Amino acid sequence: MTFVRTSVFLLLALLLATPALAGHHDEGPVRQAIVLAAFGTSYPEAVKSILNIKAKVEKAHPGVPVRLAFTSNIIRKIWQERQGDAAWRKANADIPAEILYVKHPLATIADLQNDGYRDVAVQSLHVFAGEEYHDLLTLVGGLRSIRSLKAKYTPFARLVVGRPALGQPGEAYPYVQDMEKAAKVLKGDVEHARKEDAALVYMGHGNDFFSTGIYAEFQKTLRAEYGYPIFIGCVEGYPAFDDMAALLAASGKKKVLLKPFMIVAGDHASNDMAGDEDDSWKVMLEKAGYSVIIDLRGLGMVDGWADLYVDHLADALAQGTGK
């Protein structure tokens, strides 16, 4: 009897020690879902870039629901206002409901959990580990920390985050290697610039208080990869237009291929970059004596760039921590 009691005690101890991440609950197999968290866009035409990435992810994970979420509060508010605008909806009938009713990542993850999905992977569709990605990490980290007294009631069996296109600090996946891979998929842009005998200039979004220098470093990576005059400037933060323009002037090129270094070619690309106002990059470059060629294709429309997110999602799922 002593042996039996001891065996039962040991068995109970092992069961109680089993972590929640092992899926200890009474609801059957853990269901998996994917959330693609993008900054977002208010431009209907630019939505195609995000949907192209989504299609790539769905192909890589057949049978797994893939939801979109926008991290920008301003962008989401615009879509929310359009929901009640019957005239706008009629004129833009091709906009899918998942865009029109897009939510914050927090709400999207909560909806999935409420629908019974406890294994959720959140893939960042940001370019680099800036403000929006930082906030996404802290959000998911908070949700991941939730524990219930009974393991079976813990909201998530697993909750991971995939890194941005240009990577993030850390040893698991050195960001320098991510930048090298990203540089290779932009070969088509460089070939286009060479054909036109034009310098290749990218406009990135940047951030005015969380500037990491990643754009300047990626510019160096691109130039090392192709041996060609390639420049990156930002709408906000460093390197600014003037920083980029000084290097461009030293290149001796008189023609510029101007492209957005953003997932979508939305408001910044259409107005700040390619607009007709005096402070647009196109106008300022033309006033400086350059012939400017505009390419309004967002990075999300480049299949190789979209594949970067597919690969980073696979890494997050394989590692299991998103770090």
Q: At what angle do helices 214-226 and 175-184 cross, to 10 degrees?
A: 50
Looking at domain 17-168+303-319, its CATH architecture is 3-Layer(aba) Sandwich (3.40)
Q: Are 285 and 272 in contact (CB under 8 A)?
A: no
pLDDT at 321 > cutoff 60: no
Separation between Cα atoms, residue 269 and residue 81, nearest integer Å: 23
Q: What is the mean pLDDT of residues 162-189?
A: 96
Q: What is the pLDDT of residues 129-154, one digit of tens each?
A: 999 999 999 999 999 999 999 988 99
Q: What is the pLDDT of residues 156-171, one digit of tens each?
A: 999 999 999 999 999 9
Q: What is the mean pLDDT of residues 244-273?
A: 95
Identify the H or E element spanning 140: helix 131-144
State both tokens at 227: 């041996």
pLDDT at 12 > cutoff 70: no
pLDDT at 19 > cutoff 80: no
**What pLDDT was estimated at residue 212?**
83
Assign 210 a pLDDT band (cuts: 50, 70, 90): confident
pLDDT at 2 > cutoff 50: no
Q: What is the pLDDT of residues 266-300, one digit of tens each?
A: 889 999 999 999 999 999 999 999 999 999 999 99
State both tokens at 225: 């990869």
Q: What is the mean pLDDT of residues 81-98?
A: 96
**What pLDDT was estimated at residue 202?**
98
pLDDT at 6 > cutoff 90: no
Assign 313 a pLDDT band (cuts: 50, 70, 90): very high
Residue range(s) occupied by CATH 3.40.50.1400 in the chain: 17-168+303-319, 186-299
**What pLDDT was estimated at residue 10?**
39
Assign 8 a pLDDT band (cuts: 50, 70, 90): very low
**What pLDDT was estimated at residue 27?**
59
Residue position matching structure tokens 């680099």 = 128
Per the document, the length of the chain is: 323
Q: Are 322 and 316 in contact (CB under 8 A)?
A: yes
Set 61, 126, 205, 312: catalytic member:
205
pTM over 0.85: yes
Greater pLDDT, 109 or 22: 109
Q: How many CA atoms lie within 13 A of 116 on its CB side?
A: 7
Q: What is the mean pLDDT of residues 109-131?
A: 96
Active site residue 205: yes
**What pLDDT was estimated at residue 136?**
97
pLDDT at 7 > cutoff 60: no
State both tokens at 302: 């480049």
- 205 labelled binding-site residue: yes
**What pLDDT was estimated at residue 319?**
79
> The domain 186-299: what is its CATH number?
3.40.50.1400
- Bridge partners of 201, per DSSP, are 231, 258
Q: How many CA atoms lie within 13 A of 165 on its CB side?
A: 26
pLDDT at 11 > cutoff 70: no
- 268 labelled binding-site residue: yes
Provide the mean pLDDT of the chain. 90
**What pLDDT was estimated at residue 3?**
40
Give 212-262 as a DSSP string.
-SHHHHHHHHHHHHH-S-EEEEEEESSS-HHHHHHHHHHHT--EEEEEE-S
Residue position matching structure tokens 């991440």 = 21
**What pLDDT was estimated at residue 320?**
62
Neighbours of 152 (CB within 10 A): 11
Residue position matching structure tokens 């294709």 = 297
pLDDT at 33 > cutoff 90: yes
Nearest one of 152, 179, 216 to 18, comparing CA atoms: 152
Q: What is the mean pLDDT of residues 300-319?
A: 96
Highest-pLDDT range among 26-30, 147-151, 222-226: 222-226
